[in-house]
């Protein structure tokens, strides 16, 4: 009897291995462990056996039944997954065919590099409590010159090649300093703000000169503002921009709207001040003009100069952008050429 039982167990295993569909599996289940299956048939013949035989064979057959059922279940789930997978395979897609290798034209997106840097600087100033202002591009002589202590025939007007309109009274702003004037007209001291924007100069175009470019003007007016404060702000700003502490130096510079006026140099970031081709062996790179706002400018802006003073500075944004990304030709900035833009893609 026991032999029969063990043969049956082996026979089942062979049969199970050859099953490939769920239907076959259900047939096999009925054949072996069904009510009229082979296992039942064997058990039915037990009635003639001795009690000892009954006991051991009964246990054995129960064990086999459990095992067989488990194997069937196992096989069943395997077959089910295989069948679903077969269906899934029919819906196969080529997951290597990504946008990045697909010719769908230009599929990138991103901000203009000037916007990227301008935002970065705006955020630094916002974090230091500065407002952000702008003003018109088309200005009058008062806002571009007179209010900035640059009267008619002042030699400083020579330094700026101004674009004039036909009426000879209006012009394209040559610097963002006009935003200072507009800022003072609209604000009561103390205040501090920056003004980024486009400026225009009649310059011969080449790789480093454009007639349209960007500046960022800054101004702080309050009581007892000092040169020491100005240096502090400039150092903080530059450490944020360059993401490390930078050494700066102020040397006298002449700008009619500031007194004292400075050229701020930063220690060359390439050579660390030792002298290299970038800094023309000087160890310093000229970066921004700044100074204490001239009393005439404050007066033109309606500020009480007995009580208040302030500082102002200007930053060439395009120059920073070009330094950051190693752009060799400023004319790319306003070209509208996407071969340029796509290099600054966000994704």
Partner 1 sequence: MIISIDWIKEFVNIPEMSDKDLSERFTLGTCEVEDVIKTGELLSKVLVVEITAIEKHPEADKLNLVTFKVSENETRQVVCGAPNVAVGIKVPYAPLGTSFPDGFTLVPKKIRGVVSEGMLCGEDEIGLGSDTSGLMVFPADAPIGTPVGEYLGIKRNTLLDIDNKSLTHRPDLWGHYGMAREFSAVFGVPLCKLYSEEWAERLKKNFTNDASPIVPQVADDCACLGYYGISVDNVEVKESPQWMKDRLNDCGLRPINNIVDISNYVMLELGVPLHIFDREMIKDEKIIIRTAGEDQKFMTLDEIDRDLLAKDTVVCDSEKPLVIAGIMGGLESGVTEKTSKIFIETANWVDSEVRKTSSRLGLRTDSSQRYEKCLDTELLERTCLRTLELVLKLCPEAKVIGKLEKDGVQKKETLVIDMKASHINNVLGTELSVERITEILESLEFHVTASGDDLKITVPSYRSTKDMEYDVDVIEEVGRIIGFDNITPVSPKTEITAVRLSQAKQLQRKIQDFMVFHGRSLEIMTSPLIGSKLLKNAEWHENNDELVLVNAMSRDRERMRPSMIPSALEAVALNQKNYSRFSFFEYGRAYKEDEKNFSDERTQVIMAWYDKKESRFMEALNTFENMMAFTNVPAQEAKPNPKFPNPLFAADWRGLHPSERVDFKIQGKPAASIFTVHPIVLRNFKIKGNLVLAVLDVTDFEERAMKDKTKYEPLAKYPSSTFDCTVLASPKTPVADVVSAAKKLKVKELQSVKVVDVFSLNEDQKTVTIRAVFGDKEKTLEGDFIREAEDKLVAALDAAGFPLKR
Site for partner 1 in 274-333 (CB under 8 A): 292, 294-295, 309, 333
Number of other CB atoms surrounding residue 48 within 10 Å: 9
Residue whose entry in the numeric block shows the structure tokens 């309109």:
165
Phi, psi of 182 (to 5 degrees): -65, -35
Q: Cβ closer to partner 1: 6 or 185?
A: 185
Judged by CB under 8 A, the chain residues 221 through 280 that form the site for partner 1 are 222, 224-229, 231-233, 235, 249-254, 259-263
Q: Which of 93, 96, 100, 153 binds partner 1 (CB under 8 A)?
A: 153
Instruction: Give 29: exposed, middle or buried? Use CB within 10 Å, 0-12, 13-18, 19+.
Output: buried
- Is position 165 an interface residue for partner 1 (rule: CB under 8 A)? yes
Name the one range near partner 1 by CB under 8 A: 45-53, 84-92, 165-173, 174-182.
Answer: 165-173
User: Cα(253)–Cα(231) distance, rounded to whole angstroms?
Assistant: 15
Query: Which of 163, 239, 323, 324: binder of partner 1 (CB under 8 A)?
Result: 163
Identity of the residue, 14 or 224, whose beta carbon is nearer to partner 1 in the bound complex: 224
CB of 338 to partner 1, least distance (A): 5
Closest by alpha carbon to 261, among 308, 220, 227, 219? 227
Residue number, 58 or 190, with CB nearest to partner 1: 190
- Distance, CA of 118 to chain centre: 14
Distances (CA, A) of 147 to 190, 293, 308: 19, 12, 17
CB of 69 to partner 1, least distance (A): 42
Among 98, 166, 243, 244, binds partner 1 (CB under 8 A): 166
Residues contacting partner 1: total by CB under 8 A: 87
| CB nearer to partner 1: pick between 10 and 339 | 339
Pairing of strands 191-200, 170-172: unpaired
- Least CB distance to partner 1 at residue 127 (A): 9
H or E segment and range at residue 241: helix 227-242
Based on CB atoms, which residue is closest to partner 1, 2 or 109? 109
Site for partner 1 in 190-219 (CB under 8 A): 190, 192, 198, 200, 202, 204-205, 211-212
- The nearest distance, CB 323 to partner 1, in angstroms, is 18
Residues within window 100-139 making contact with partner 1, judged by CB under 8 A: 103-112, 114-115, 119, 122, 126, 129-134, 136-138
Shortest distance (Å) from residue 174 CB to partner 1: 12
Gap between the Cα atoms of 199 and 212, Å rounded: 6
CB of 58 to partner 1, least distance (A): 55
Residue 75's contacts (CB-CB under 8 Å, 6 or more residues apart) are 16, 19, 25
CB 151 to partner 1: min, Å: 9
Distance, CA of 217 to CA of 175 (rounded, Å): 8
The interface with partner 1 within residues 12-51 (CB under 8 A) comprises none
Q: Which residue has the tokens 């020491």?
A: 228
How far apart CA 283 and CA 43 sit, in angstroms, is 101
């Amino acid at each position: 009897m026991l032999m029969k039982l063990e043969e049956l167990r082996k026979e089942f295993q062979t049969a199970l291995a050859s099953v490939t569909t769920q239907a076959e599996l259900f047939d096999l289940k009925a054949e072996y462990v069904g009510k009229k299956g082979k296992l039942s048939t064997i058990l039915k013949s037990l009635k003639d056996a001795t009690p000892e035989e009954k006991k051991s064979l009964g246990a054995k057959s129960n064990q086999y039944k459990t095992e067989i059922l488990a194997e069937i279940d196992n096989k069943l789930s395997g077959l089910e997954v295989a069948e679903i997978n077969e269906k899934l395979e029919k819906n196969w897609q080529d997951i290597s065919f990504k946008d990045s290798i697909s010719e769908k034209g230009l599929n990138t997106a991103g901000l203009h590099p000037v916007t990227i840097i301008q935002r970065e600087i705006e955020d630094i100033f916002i974090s230091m409590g500065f407002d952000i202002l702008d003003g018109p591009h088309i200005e009058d002589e008062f806002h571009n010159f007179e209010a900035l202590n640059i009267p008619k025939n002042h030699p400083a007007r020579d330094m700026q090649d101004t674009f004039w309109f036909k009426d000879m009274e209006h012009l394209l702003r040559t610097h963002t300093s006009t935003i200072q004037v507009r800022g003072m007209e609209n604000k009561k001291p103390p205040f501090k703000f920056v003004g980024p924007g486009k400026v225009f100069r009649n310059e011969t175009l080449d790789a480093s000169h454009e007639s349209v470019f960007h500046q960022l003007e800054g101004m702080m007016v309050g009581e007892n503002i000092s040169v020491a404060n100005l240096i502090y702000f400039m150092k903080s700003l530059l450490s944020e921009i360059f993401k490390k502490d930078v050494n700066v130096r102020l040397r006298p510079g002449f700008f009619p709207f500031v007194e004292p006026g400075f050229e701020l140099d930063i220690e060359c970031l390439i050579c660390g001040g030792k002298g290299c081709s970038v800094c023309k062996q000087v160890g310093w790179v000229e970066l921004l003009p700044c100074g204490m706002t001239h009393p005439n400018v404050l007066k033109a802006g309606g500020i009480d100069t007995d009580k208040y003073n302030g500082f102002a500075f200007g930053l060439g944004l395009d120059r920073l952008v070009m330094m950051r990304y190693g752009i060799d030709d400023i004319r790319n900035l306003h070209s509208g050429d996407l071969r340029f833009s796509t290099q600054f893609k966000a994704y």
